[in-house]
Structure 1
């Protein structure tokens, strides 16, 4: 067995000699082959996934918890909605000095019966979720391997290096630095309102360092971030608009790995990619692999917009992100258009000002030409709901239904959409930010946003739609409140 240690996440584990691994942002994947590791696919070979970090980081992914039982309940809640879910007897484990629990589980996915063993652990300084999985037919051979890995697992307090203040960086300048595992270098620059900022971070050896960038404003609020917008796994924040003159701070950090890097800054009066677009316009662009384009438009509070990004050819998975005048991320979309095209439809703008749309590739990546369209549209409201309402209506082809309801901050609501078709729900807060989505949590292919605490008081909007263009027909929508 070989030893793997991640001091910044807070764990060590032994894994079989000949296996391969990949670590990124608190998650480590161990697999029997490179093919399974690249696909994160346990359907062919053994796969073990480790998610370990400070308790507050684990809570972001898995929900609030105080004990290992709380964390286990959170993880199993999602599993119980899976087809063919099986949950065995819960067993006590200890990982170093961290108490934990383990349980054998099973489920069916794409007609394949899977078997796995789930580990959770929690103490004051570290928490984690670990799962070993494979096809059910391979479980008898896999379990001794997974058990040996679990028995070797030790959790400890994450050792996060202190950020290093590196100093100023000037437009047109390239600086150099070295990052340890989990390290952060902080650089700063001055920029005037109305300018556009391009920041590039390149690893000297991309094989050892996956670069990551964060940009903070003068008040310490994060306004932009990027992982792989540059070449390979390098980071690029492109055409970020400066909305207030002053000092901005660049955090150069590692998504995974460690090593040397270069950092460069450019400030211009016009965007270098994308550009300005107005209502009713359709423009074209060409995305390089891993790149992103910034498009800007002027909008007024209450404007309802539709933004579409369509690939012109094969090989590009389109993705859209919409940011408000203050830099707040409002909504995003991957495949709501036809095929792999992106579509943000009937979105009501929350304020007057300049909006930014990032056009980039989605999870499937790709590169090539695309068409970008911005329209001011009229949203037709299907109806106004109150808590306890259950309505039935029919979804026609190429339509989405918009439902409104009034809610108070702290109200816990459940929204369910039940039909023969595959349903999908989106929930938007009064400030226009999409706060929840769901596909199949209601069982089978029904959507359910369950026990969601409303973050603000005001008018909320529900989008009820089919998961795909072919999903049409009658559905029942229920809104349950406090």
Structure 2
């Protein structure tokens, strides 16, 4: 990230000065100029620097912008082959001084200022900007008022690398924003004081924006970040204590998706109250009604598809098509299927986020008992893929479409099960899965097996937690294509599911399912209350470390958890790094599976980083950091 201190900040020792992303203010016209003046694009200049330029006529005006602190005594001097007109303005257009060369003034407030340079005739020129009340740090022997500038050009501030500057924020503001193009980041700034607490939330309003926020200190170090802690994919930061006085920056990102968003910004002297969420203690007899045959809702062309949620559509006219966006993360396996009416000759095409056709299938070449099937496609990049449904030979008719992460696109719900009883299942078509329900207590340890019967089925068995997280998965652990989960620990009490599908969404056939309780604690251990501090959906390449920042306070107990997404081959390793870079905690294979999960107590206030990498693997994952509270 763009968090390194600029070398010129260290060299000149500028006090409490952070350069704002001035180059993004291009086109802002200054007040007080003649209506016929031609305002040129803004240029950056810092104090103790000079800048050379050329004015082609007396009508051209060149604005130079800089950041100054209240009470700074500054002087601007222009040299060249003409007489010059200079004006010093504040950010709101107020004229501070004008019509003199050199132009001298005392800065009234912290902020952004503009020097306007205009010549009587076309000429080359050089503008110098200096302090009048301190020596030039580049001079060997300080002089009270330097007239020549040593540094030849400005170094862009780190804000320039964060994105497009939008606005400066104050406490209580709730601005709205719009991402009109992919890979655009928006930058907001605010003036903070050491010890204040920052609260920040970013919500999606429209489009496919997936909010992500980063906060940077006045020196460019990352202070905190978040992706999904606000629920419903909203980004949320709470109680971020500012370490120093100065100008902070916020980077708002939509993960490359277009659409609008809403920010809520709060800055105050007191901690905000966060209510811990305590999980209820489940019992072995807990039961919740489940709809075994959900209604397939009609879809509209352009409607995004959701994981394992089928929708129905109709091609009513020859040559028509329906399009369905699918949000996919790099490294995910996805399966897409279309089930047409008997007379409809359906064709399914999938395009990647760059608009390139990846695959085109029909029932004739899918070998999926009448379905058009795209089986187990590995996503080469993150973004929005688009599935198109149309008819071959100008045919028309109805259909249903669905997609899923992993080896199936649709689920057949088979109902509730009990331990030590055999259940017979049948995957009737490639791309389908069957889902069985079981009730578990927290810390129950179970085993489960799916044994092949008739047909070409090569079963994959998954244990899914109540929140949809993958707890355990196996393919051939039982031998002879049988799937067996030898041991799996239930992290919470509640309704779990055993999902049976076929490897690569390619097989069909019968199977037998059974599950058993290996151990069941007599009294469930009460789970601690949690407040989500950090949540990210992301993917990590092979042989790569990735870092995710959050702000924590001393003596806070946290739980760090990394879960591979369903279908992801990632064997994750995680470590928690303190502000000084030391390792506070780490995990690899916990809870009888390969997903890291560990707790740690934070030793001090500051910015912590979770480091994630794959052990000889890569893939998609979900990262969470929760603050823990005892009951």
TM range (shorter): 0.3 to 0.5
State the TM-score, normalizing by the size of structure 1.
0.33
State the TM-score, normalizing by the size of structure 2.
0.26
Instruction: Report the structure, 1 or 2, having the larger helix content.
Output: 1
Instruction: Report the structure, 1 or 2, having the larger strand content.
Output: 1
Which structure has the greater CA radius of gyration? 2
